[in-house]
Amino acid sequence: MYKFSYAEILEESGAIKRERERLALDHAIGLLDTASLSDRGSSALEAIEYTQKLWGFLISDLSNPHNELPDDLKASLISIGLWVMKEGDDILNERSSNFAGLIEVNRAIRDGLS
C-alpha cells in the first residue's frame, strides 16, 4: 500500500503544474520565433493569439484568491502578462514588430519556473 503525505501530494501537484506551464510557454516561444522569421501572415496571428490566450489563463490563475504565490510576485507577473497581451495587440495592428521582446520575456518567465 502506498502512503503519501498530503504535503508530498501538493508538492508533486505544483511541480506538475509548473511543468505544464513551462511546456505551454515553450510552445508560445516556438510560435513567436517562427512568426518573427515569416511574413507576419497567419503564423503571426496564430502566435499572438496563442500567447494572449496563455497569458489570459495565467493572469486568471494569478488573480485567483487561492493562488498561494506572494502578492508582490503575483502583481509583477500580472503586469508582465498585461504587457505581453498589449504588445501582441500592437504587433497585430502593425504598431510594433517586437517579436524579440515577446520571446525574451516569455523565455525569462519560463526559465523562472524551474
pLDDT one-digit tens code per residue, 7-33: 444 455 778 888 999 999 999 999 999
Backbone angles phi, psi at 100, to 5 degrees: -60, -40
State the pLDDT at residue 11. Answer: 53
How many angstroms separate the CA atoms of 86 and 103, rounded? 14
Specify the pTM: 0.85
How many angstroms separate the CA atoms of 65 and 98, rounded? 33
State the pLDDT at residue 6. Answer: 46
The CA radius of gyration of the chain, in Å to the nearest whole number, is 16
Q: Give whole-number Cα distances, 9 to 6, 12, 65, 67, in Å.
A: 5, 5, 21, 17
How many angstroms separate the CA atoms of 33 and 100, rounded? 8
Q: Where are the domains of the chain?
A: 17-112
Which segments in the chain show pLDDT lower than 70?
1-12, 39-40
State the pLDDT at residue 10. Answer: 47
